[in-house]
Amino acid sequence: MSIDVLLEIIRNRRSVRDFSGEDVTAAEVRALVEAAGQAPSNSNRQAWRFLAVESRDVRARLRQAVVARMGELERSLTSPEERAGLEAYGRYLTFFADAPVLIVVLCKRSPAFLESLLRRAGVPAAEGSLPAEGLSAAMAVKNLLLAAHAMGLGACCVTGPLIAAGEFREILRVPSAYLFAALVPVGRPAGPTLAPPRKPVDEILEVIP
């Protein structure tokens, strides 16, 4: 594959949040996870796991958990602006349940020795806030998103619904050794998705000679 072909896939990928009713096949799900599993990872630990939630009932239970958590959060807000912001953002927390397949991305907790080394090295908390396994999972998600686009599927990486991670853990029976990294709803796009503007390379690149 030439770099031009790869860049074309990257440039044309879109975050899809509206899906048609057409199913995603088991073979397509396996291909997506195979692509995800080819991502680089911390010390090649491949400390990720992927749950493909096909059950409409289970997805509905996950959505109900998010809605309940949103209600608790809304009751704790005192500012009208905050309430309006939460209401406007609400759909982005629940649309995942409308996708034919929801891929839940998990990652193992970072090794204790690594966390200890960061503390001993005096790395500020903000600098060490993204565990190596979390970054590995993020790279796996990017592979998955690119593969979905190349296969004619639509997908979107979301983390907002994880406000209900505790409830998700119970519903999906996720072992305590794993953390939730992201959710990736997958389906066939209901229609075209407009491209958001991107900053030019000159604006985001600084060359240090």
What pLDDT is stored for residue 134 in this prediction? 87
Residues with Cβ < 8 Å from 163, sequence gap 6 or more?
Answer: 66, 69, 70, 73, 93
160 inside domain: yes
Domain count, the chain: 1
Q: What is the band of 204 on the pLDDT scale with cuts at 50, 70, 90?
A: very high
Q: What percent of the chain has pLDDT over 90?
A: 68
Tell me the residue range of the domain where 79 lies: 3-190
pLDDT digits (tens, 9 = 90+) for 111-156: 666 666 666 766 655 444 456 788 999 999 999 999 999 999 999 9
pLDDT at 24 over 50: yes
Report how far apart, in Å, the C-alpha atoms of 162 and of each of 9, 14, 115 are.
29, 22, 23
Over residues 173-201, the mean pLDDT reads 93
List the CATH number of the domain containing 62.
3.40.109.10
Mean of all residue pLDDT scores within the chain = 90
Q: Which tokens is 1 given?
A: 């594959």
Query: Is 197 among the domain residues?
Result: no
pLDDT of residue 86: 79
Q: How many residues does the chain have?
A: 209
Is residue 138 situated within a structural domain?
yes
